[in-house]
Amino acid sequence: MRSGIGGGSRGSLHRSILISSDLLLVAFATVLAILLRADFHDFQDKLTVLIPYIFISLGCAFVVFLVCGLDRTPWRYSSVADHLQIIVLTVLAILLTLGLTFAVNRLEGVSRSLPVIQAGLMIGILVSARAVARFWFTRQIRKNGNGHFNTRLQETLLVVGVNTVTDLFLLSLQEFASQQIQVAGILAEEPTMRGRTIRQKPVLGTVDELQNIFQSLEVHGVTIDRIVIATAADRLPPRALETLLEVEKSSNIVVQFLSERLGFKDSSATPSAGREGNIVGGQKSLTLLGDSDHSNFVKPFRLKRIVDGVGAAFLILMLAPIIVLVAFIVALDVGLPVIFWQQRPGLYGRPFKMYKFRTMRAPHDKHWKRIADDQRSSAVGRILRYTRLDELPQLYNVLVGDMSFVGPRPLLPRDQAPNHAVRLSVRPGITGWAQVNGGRIISASDKLILDIWYVENASLVLDLKIIFRTMKMVLFGDRINTKAVQRAQSDLDSKTRRAASA
């Protein structure tokens, strides 16, 4: 009982710290908005007049954030849903502040632009603080005991069953194996559960719909490694059991009953050989740079990561009107949702969700029949792809550290060859050396050569050159630079010969 009380007290204290930190950031954003709106020499007088507005802003933010549970998610676990919640709650808090201030003093001293600037700064600062905390926490937890980065890929699961055991299993994964295992979704016993969520994991359908679910996940670049059955076998229909057994026989997917194996694999242990060379005890791994020290390789890119984060936050704020406009156009053209994601291998092969605006309609019709790609695309989608406006959501990927502005473009998992995993030793980029020297019309082998050459020669000067050429590419289209390909091939051949002679 004492430990429970102590745990509750610690939880309350932790939430108090979170809400207090948010209020400090709100206060900073409000004062900064006043400073930007007023002349510097009049700032003190303006601040004195707006003291009621400042305190009302803090009070409204406190009430809205607390009632709506913004303090329930630790910053290091923040997600896109939390960031969207911040946007909604900030707008609500600002509207409430304007109403109360009008009732108190008729908005004395409050200019029309002040609430807009204040809201923008609040959203930017609150989201950025969570993104930085998430990036720092992920960076620390990904290091193993000797200071090197763990290069093992995540294992992707489907969980069968909607019950208390499933909830406990997901909670245990979050606590003990969040970096080794991810859950793509849940299969329910009844179709009425479709669309619901358990611990933010969606119920995708039933076991009978497994093949259709595989096809839908494939569109997003998600490959399932294991299916965990978190319900008793006698509670599953015989047909569902037959489907699961057939999946295990006809693929590399491992099917396990949770009742037979409780617990998690030690991520630091050496895995045993599985049934296929690339499947090792349910885990997949990549050799990136042989026996090289990855921590030393990463050091030159630390400053680049800071520049990426600051630049992404600035561009998101500056381009917000364009992002909203494109989202509205996409909603009218192909419908909701406006954002499409695909799972791609990122730094050291760790999977992440790469976001884009949707430029194609759903891959299946209402009867789950596949629709040809040429029938799914539209004129609006082609314009968005040509102008690269469909890639604006990737600014979020850059902000949270999944991507960089410049780097090799992330491939689908099936296209990322293990023997060319050197591409994964840097963060994937929105644009890269291969994109500005051929883009979409260059061959896959030439792209690979250019990407590897970039990794070997990455520098600030080269990144600036790539960004400049990207602007040119957007204006005039893709053009193959055969000299760049030949130079990259020549440099890599020379390095191979030197290594062989040594």
The closest of 433, 352, 357 to 400, measured between CA atoms, is 352
| CATH at 212 | 3.40.50.720
| 267 located within any domain | no
Task: Give 234: exposed, middle or buried? Use CB within 10 Å, 0-12, 13-18, 19+.
Answer: exposed
Give bridge partners of residue 283 from the DSSP assignment.
Answer: 280
Inform me whether the pLDDT recorded for 480 exceeds 50: yes
| 230 located within any domain | yes
| 268 located within any domain | no
Q: Is residue 396 domain-shared with residue 365, that is, in the same domain?
A: yes
| Domain of residue 198, residue span | 155-257
Helix H or strand E segment including 239 = helix 238-250
What amino acid is encoded at 127 in this protein?
V
Q: Is residue 241 domain-shared with residue 136, that is, in the same domain?
A: no
pLDDT of residue 274: 38
Helix H or strand E segment including 227 = strand 226-229
Encode pLDDT of 39-98 as tens digits: 666 677 777 788 889 999 999 999 999 888 887 777 877 777 788 889 989 999 999 999
- Using CA atoms, how far residue 295 sits from 54, 275, 292, 418, 448, in Å, is 46, 32, 9, 20, 24
pTM: 0.53
Q: Is residue 349 domain-shared with residue 456, that is, in the same domain?
A: yes
The strand pair at 201-206 and 351-357 is best described as unpaired
Q: Average the pLDDT over 148-161 and give the result.
A: 69
Q: Is residue 424 domain-shared with residue 365, that is, in the same domain?
A: yes
Q: Is residue 350 domain-shared with residue 483, that is, in the same domain?
A: yes
Q: Is residue 248 domain-shared with residue 365, that is, in the same domain?
A: no
One DSSP character per residue, 94-150 reads HHHHHHHHHHHHTTTT--SHHHHHHHHHHHHHHHHHHHHHHHHHHHHHTB-TTSPBP
Q: How far apart are CA 433 and CA 484, in angstroms?
A: 9
Give the pLDDT band of residue 283 (cuts 50, 70, 90). Answer: very low
| 288 located within any domain | no
Q: Is residue 172 domain-shared with residue 220, that is, in the same domain?
A: yes
Encode pLDDT of 193-236 as tens digits: 787 878 778 888 888 888 888 888 877 778 888 898 888 777 77
Give the pLDDT band of residue 355 (cuts 50, 70, 90). Answer: very high
The last residue of a domain, from among 236, 257, 278 = 257
The last residue of a domain, from among 202, 237, 257 = 257
| 276 located within any domain | no
How many domains is the chain built from? Answer: 3
Q: Is residue 497 domain-shared with residue 376, that is, in the same domain?
A: yes
Inform me whether the pLDDT recorded for 264 exceeds 70: no
Q: Average the pLDDT over 364-390 and give the result.
A: 77
